[in-house]
Amino acid sequence: QVRLVESGGGSVQAGESLRLTCGTSGISISWYCTAWFRQVPGKEREGVAAIDFAGSQTLYGWFVKGRFAVSRDDDQNTQYLEMTGLTPDDTGMYFCAAKGESVPCMEWEDAKDFIYWGQGTQVTVSS
């Protein structure tokens, strides 16, 4: 059974930083495109960042503007999202996700192409 578990969310002030972690079991993420999405009530999930299998490339949503960094440790089967310069617009539930094995990260911002999802971790940024 595939399981993704996010952690590291919390409540911070604008300008502060958070590091999200996604632990994975049941698959070896080195063979998967993995990503972070976020969602606020009433809106669709929005792609934040993705990293292709074997860490061959990293991809970011337009709004990231150099503030976030996605990475992963394939040996630990864990991916990370380092977020700096947080603003209230970054508030939302953050999810980690993975596509099918060996499916590349093309069109990664489309959430429907991801088949494995975690339960999410809440990030709240106050001004």
**Cα 19 to Cα 10: distance, rounded to the nearest angstrom:** 10
SS3 assignment for the chain = CCEEEEECCEEEECCCCEEEEEEEECCCHHHCCEEEEEECCCCCCEEEEEECHHHCCEEECCCCCCCEEEEEECCCCEEEEEECCCCHHHCEEEEEEECCCCCCCCCCCCHHHCCEECCCEEEEEEC
Res. 8 pLDDT band, cuts 50 70 90: very high
* Residue 98 · residue 116 · CB < 8 Å: yes
| Confidence band, pLDDT 50/70/90 cuts, at residue 125 | very high
pLDDT tens digits, 16-59: 999 999 999 999 999 999 999 999 999 999 999 999 986 679 99
Q: What is the pLDDT of residues 49-105, one digit of tens each?
A: 999 986 679 999 999 999 999 999 999 999 999 999 999 999 999 999 999 999 999
